[in-house]
Structure 1
Amino acid sequence: MKKIATLLFVSILGGVLTLGSYKLFLEEEALQHQPQNITTSSNFLPVSNSGNIYGTNADFTEAAENTVHAVVHVKNVAVFKGPRNIWEYYQYGSGGGRALQGAGSGVIITPDGYIVTNNHVIKGASEIEVTLNNNETYKADVIGADAKSDIALIKIDAQDLDYIPFGDSDNVQLGEWVLAVGNPFNLKSTVTAGIISAKARDLNSRDNSPQSFIQTDAAINPGNSGGALVNIKGELIGINTAITSPSGSYIGYAFAVPSNNARKIVEDIMEYGDVQQGILGIRGGNLTPDIINEFELKETQGVLVSSVTPGSGAEKAGLKSMDIIRKLDNIRITKFSDLTGYINSKRPGDNVVVQYVRDGKTREVNVELTKLDTYPVRVLGLEVANASAEELKAYKAPNGVRINRTLVEDLESADLVGGIISEINNQKVNSIRDVQNIIENRNDAKPIVVTYYNQNGEEKRMVWR
């Protein structure tokens, strides 16, 4: 009996040892041959198998809750006495009335009622009505506006309002999640999600007036104009402004004014009453394959300087024609809209570190931005700016104002932009105020004769009828 029990014990012990050895050695060896995150194969192309690339799912609920109460509905109302046409007579009678001219959105940026919206939303309004997310309605006053950037600042008389803090639009990244908050089609408190599709997008076909928008695929429709583009932290990174669509509604592309530019414009309006625009003092353009081949350039991205404004900060710092600007304050510059977008967030007197390439060598220089004072001469389709003594000397002009840019696409600009207007209708001009006085007091029935000096110093005349 003892011998049977001993044999049984030895058999059990042997089985345990065999099983343990299998678990210890064979399974460990099998684990060592399990596939890892990086897959290797006989292919020469790199392959990744990193599993769940998102980690924790992106959550927009907090950002939406923190911003939806700070986005308002803005109504542009026209008030008139007596009917302006037969349709208004039938609608309002002979006593006049109030007509809704348009509607959009706005973003509360301070608890005491300052609101950012688009200039085109409030343009031409007799009254502006603002409706909060809780259905309270206020009359709003226009504090100031900048038509060029399409940004306006309005104010309602209220306290302790929800507001959205400004974020840094220079830090946004391609592919970053964003929310568009607004009132499309008069539907209040609508939130849509998307990503940053592009930065510094220029929608203007004229090189002399580049724009710089954030592009997103978050759905933006009529009524979203002036609303908020926010990151998932609930920070304001853009003011929704435009869409590109043949139908007028969203098809996948939408554009917002970067928050750094909008904040600078708002602060200028609050502090100075108008926009203080600083300029680098160059004219230039994007590097294209044709330009790269023509001038045998080694650089493929950046802004090629075509000319430097006499007396500007760029000239004083030593920038020259054919320099290629690559960075501004460590912000990478790949195209002209990158440059203008960053400069438009600065003020006259600010210093900017410019990194550029000249003769294949990378250099850096500090440039102090100068102030741009301009006046749009709509009847001529031109914008003029005060000219410095250095500019007048460079163009051999005895007096005058500089042609800063053209305002219409079909006007030939190559010979005009950068030139000096010395006379309008045989009256000498020394400043943009002189131009304004002549244009406002002219006889509308007569043509306008402009004497100007082109960039070669040649005196010419042009007649506008």
Structure 2
Amino acid sequence: MSFQIPRLLPGLAVLLSLSLVATACADPATSTSEPEAQEAASTAEKPVDNASRLPDFTQIIQANQKAVVNISTTREVGGGGPQIPERFKGTPFERFFRRFFGGPDGGGQKREVSSLGSGFIVSSDGHIVTNAHVVKGASEIVVQLSDRRQLEAELLGTDRATDVALLKVDASGLPTVAWSSGDKLEVGDWVLAMGSPFGFEQSATAGIVSAKGRSIPGKAGSYVPFLQTDVAINPGSSGGPLFNLAGEVVGINAQIYSRSGGYMGLSFAIPTRMARDVVAEIKEHGEVRHGYLGVGVQRLNRELAQSMGLDKPRGGLIADVKPDSPAAEAGLQSGDIILAVDGEPVAKAGDIPPKIGRLDPGTEVTLTILRSEERIEKTVTLGSLAEARGGANGEAEPATALGMQLAPVPDQLRQQRSLPEQSGALVKGIEPGPARDAGIRPGDIILKFGDVRVKNPGTIDKLLDRVEEGARVPVLVQRKQQMLYVPLRIP
């Protein structure tokens, strides 16, 4: 026995420990009753019902689907383009010119093309909202209602700066959507889009708001602080409504960011606050008036911000002040940093166009400027964006959908290049887009767009309305002393 005791002691210690633990667990003051234990075990075995936590979109769709419409447009394109020069006919170059100029002898052939989009009814007497690019250049606009009726629509007005258009059909007693009454949408909120992607009517997709106040350089609607979502949007969805969980319209689906032409996870909508104001102004005036400052601004990165005396990147750096613009008259200078507009802070350069654009021409604004690390304030009386685009000294819409920042040709450069007055548009900058793909470079002067002579940056903006999406337009540019044509694809 004396040899067995050492071997048994460890086992006895374990048994004693287990006994103590069992005794403590059986203490009536702290123990769980048998029914409660069974209930807890039963609950633990049940899977969590995640579906009950997801939003139910069915009621939103049922309440609003009759107010969402399909829009089809017809427009005439082609014709009037450059002719193939006689010296190239019968040579290997003839095929090249036919490819880009169209038609058997160049010049293109006039033809009618159709396109599809979406919209939604905002008044029972037939007012319908959509995107400006959906009805761009249309000779005929037809709205198909949910009951299959097809009505010809009148275009009351468009605003290219915000990409909003207002239509009117001859009808009454139509179902309508409700605009959101506030600006309470937050990143992470659920949203629902409705429209006609690829012509599939009454389609619905859902997702969340992934960012707010997003600017998209080089795109139509550069005056818009877009809502960014992960809702699936495709060609044909443009102009359709974006709903919150209360069934209110919080935006107009306008654009996707894509390298393939289809949805790749990012879509953008025009916020209701801006769209509603634009629609009201079109109803009242037939057009929308936007303020114009006359500066080119760029983003600040960390190094540039530190070099200019800022603790972090914020505001918009003025890279260029347009001659005879409101900014020039107020004494703004290249190198100034706009920190606030009427006391409202500017987080990034892309915030400035929407802040200025929503104000009427003639409005006085106070800009808080950082100049040589000193804060100063400048009062500016805004001009008119519409007048600036059309005037010889105006500033064209930055890049539109082509990816170019255009400006009037300075007098000194015009003399150096031997250009007549009121001719040409100077390429000040290039962003990723069709212009860069075509080989256009900063410093080029655009002289002809198709067969039309370019008088100023506003000429190109107007000509875009007449060109079919996906078409190639021959563009004559002057690069230093060299003249050359480049084929520019219209997105």
Q: Which TM bucket (shorter chain)?
A: 0.5 to 0.7
Distance change (3 Å), C-alpha of 1:185 and 1:353: same
Amino acid at match of 2:242: L
Question: Which moved further from structure 2: 330-339 or 398-407?
Answer: 398-407
* Match for residue 321 of structure 2 among 298, 305, 308: 308
Matching residue of 2:360: 347
Question: Which moved further from structure 2: 168-177 or 274-283?
Answer: 168-177
The answer to whether residue 435 in structure 2 is matched with residue 408 in structure 1 is yes
Provide the rounded CA distance (Å) in 2 between the counterparts of 1:63 and 1:328.
38
Matching residue of 2:217: 204
Within a 5 Å distance, the mapping from 1:153-302 to structure 2 comes to 153-167=166-180, 172-204=185-217, 212-292=225-305, 294-295=307-308, 297-302=310-315
Q: Per-residue deviation at 1:56?
A: 8.8
Provide the rounded CA distance (Å) in 1 between the counterparts of 2:261 and 2:403.
27
Distance change (3 Å), C-alpha of 1:207 and 1:321: farther
Matching residue of 2:66: 69
Gaps of 5+ in 1: 1-25, 29-54, 81-97, 422-426, 437-446, 452-459
Matching residue of 1:33: none
Provide the rounded CA distance (Å) in 2 between the counterparts of 1:139 and 1:290.
56
* Match for residue 145 of structure 1 among 158, 170, 177: 158
Q: Deviations over 1:337-364 (max 9, x none)?
A: 2222333333322344434434545555
Q: Per-residue deviation at 1:242?
A: 1.9
Q: Deviations over 1:263-295 (max 9, x none)?
A: 444445444444433212222200013423554
Matching residue of 1:117: 130
Distance change (3 Å), C-alpha of 1:408 and 1:350: farther
Q: Aligned residues: percent identity?
A: 35
Distance change (3 Å), C-alpha of 1:318 and 1:56: farther
Amino acid at match of 1:408: A
Q: Is the 8 A contact 1:68 1:189 kept in 2?
A: yes
Cα RMSD (Å): 4.9
Distance change (3 Å), C-alpha of 1:363 and 1:173: farther
Provide the rounded CA distance (Å) in 2 between the counterparts of 1:209 and 1:149.
7
Provide the rounded CA distance (Å) in 2 between the counterparts of 1:362 and 1:264.
33
Gaps of 5+ in 2: 1-27, 31-51, 78-110, 391-395, 448-452, 463-474, 486-491
Q: Is the 8 A contact 1:449 1:461 kept in 2?
A: no
Question: Which moved further from structure 2: 146-155 or 162-171?
Answer: 162-171
Provide the rounded CA distance (Å) in 2 between the counterparts of 1:403 and 1:270.
36
The answer to whether residue 161 in structure 2 is matched with residue 132 in structure 1 is no
Q: Per-residue deviation at 1:185?
A: 3.8
Q: Is the 8 A contact 1:169 1:238 kept in 2?
A: no
Q: Is the 8 A contact 1:68 1:191 kept in 2?
A: no
Q: Is the 8 A contact 1:284 1:336 kept in 2?
A: yes
Amino acid at match of 1:112: D
Matched length: 365
SS of the residue aligned with 1:408? helix
Q: Deviations over 1:386-428 (max 9, x none)?
A: 89xxx989x9999768859679334333x579xxx9xxxxx9x
SS of the residue aligned with 1:284? strand
Amino acid at match of 2:435: V
Distance change (3 Å), C-alpha of 1:173 and 1:368: farther
Q: Deviations over 1:67-114 (max 9, x none)?
A: 33321111224699xxxxxxxxxxxxxxxxx98722221122222212
SS of the residue aligned with 2:297? strand
Amino acid at match of 1:101: S
Provide the rounded CA distance (Å) in 1 between the counterparts of 2:235 and 2:477.
42
Distance change (3 Å), C-alpha of 1:27 and 1:286: farther
Q: Is the 8 A contact 1:67 1:181 kept in 2?
A: no
Q: Is the 8 A contact 2:208 2:231 kept in 1?
A: yes
Distance change (3 Å), C-alpha of 1:352 and 1:71: farther
Q: Deviations over 1:367-403 (max 9, x none)?
A: 332112224799x99887889xxx989x999976885
Q: Per-residue deviation at 1:334?
A: 2.3
Q: Is the 8 A contact 1:75 1:100 kept in 2?
A: no
Q: Per-residue deviation at 1:66?
A: 4.5
Instruction: Give TM-score, length-normalised by structure 1.
Output: 0.62
Instruction: Give TM-score, length-normalised by structure 2.
Output: 0.59
Q: Is the 8 A contact 1:164 1:236 kept in 2?
A: yes
Q: Deviations over 1:415-448 (max 9, x none)?
A: 579xxx9xxxxx9x89979xx9xxxxxxxxxx97
SS of the residue aligned with 2:117? strand
